[in-house]
A and B are shown apart, each in its own frame.
Chain A
């Protein structure tokens, strides 16, 4: 049955691709980063047909690695996930910043991304969308939950949930008063810190209701009332807040974790010119704002704020004070081999009683 589907699909694909001589742009990206309306507008403006594949950081790397950087013209990995992968598998090509309309971008963010995605003096990323991982809290049931450390506060026993992935290990380290990013240059010290984090999370595992696994399960567990204090993404927290005002996103005291998703061009991209056209199109103030208005994620488009909805601004201001913004911990690039350390710790935590 599956074979049959695969066969049919392959035949259909072969037929359609031979029929279409039209210029295409293949993008692998996150949900919400290439909304239909913008795709249509871009197609009309340039005559380039856009094909979008939805994915996440892990799959993006896996797919590009399997084809050694072919099959897509544009990818959108997080900025901290580029250098280590690039050094090892060479799946991207350097960005020609001369072709990017850099005047549309927030300068500080562009500089940071250039630096963080740098390999051998060349940058591999252009900032697109950013956001933070913090906590989503039911303020009626847990008015005092303020920091990462509340994820192991016995007060909320059975009402705690988080996603058991690497950001949580980082968050736990911050919650314990450590600075994991400062140890990125020292593998042995980092291993020690992760051991400590692992011990903490195993000890406090009985307090946890469940580990959520995706954007949807994250919303589900707090919305249903199964949990009151969870780790979560700002945009998700704000979207739940709209239907249940008791629930909101908060920036933890010891620092929300900031991420920036970028544009990166795969090594064997076929339509490189089209990719740059897409980048410049998406970063127009109006288009940058459109994504933020639809998804609540922040944009690196400099002129976007004047097109933003008032509610979006309100969301941001409710969750972030000036202090909180300064305290955002932006993910630096992950050094090679660190993910293996973290994965083992995550396995042991998950399998612990």
Chain B
């Protein structure tokens, strides 16, 4: 499949402030593309430029190979689901969804057929005459998406649409949104600050930081092989160590902990809690082993962690380790010393 969207070296300046800096990427047709970043990183500005509400200071945006320069929002083949949803409070569900189609000067029966089809797709039949203010959060969500999707856009832009929902509903909507996208096949560009949303739903994720794209990769790749220290720290949980010395064989942390990994000039080391292996079978070739002492057990069901200190570290540097909930580790308690191993590939240094 070809690229439906090409963003070519786009920058956006507000006076002296650079909101988006030299961003360059493509989105494949039918993909679910997420832009992940904390608030203020420039992701909303980027989205608004694609939608046409803001104009790029430099660079170009192409949809199906056609430059969008000078094309106003209402003429672009994209639709947007706003963070606030922006449902029209003076209209009922049906009128909200039909609004865009009416602008296309379609006949009434045509509009009715399309609206009804879309409403049943998002599971809102029977809600046509309800006022949007009477709906629950999830229902409002679906109206907003239906209202945009019924326009059959080339690309659907979503600006943190799950932000206002409570946790339970958000978890549910994540899955629903992903399934919906698969089913209708429209290209989604989704921006969020919630990495879990991005990881679960996306085919590809771009991590954005201070106006710059740090990495574009599949969720798995992003998690497994973060390209920059920022991505490593931002995506998933990580233990972070400052490296003060490095030579051809070893990295040495602030606390004097020596790790056998060759990376001269490295400054930071990231180790994911879930990458650590408790009581490794000795002698694995690529396994680095060391002992730690358990400080406390942070019980959180499947997400339970051990808070430990590294025995080799003179300053007692802390290390979080995921604790699998099985009988083998049931007897671990505070103060125990335990052997820990890690695969060399899981030592991420930058």
Q: Do chains A and B touch in the complex (CB under 8 A)?
A: no
Residues of B near any A CB (own CB < 8 A): none
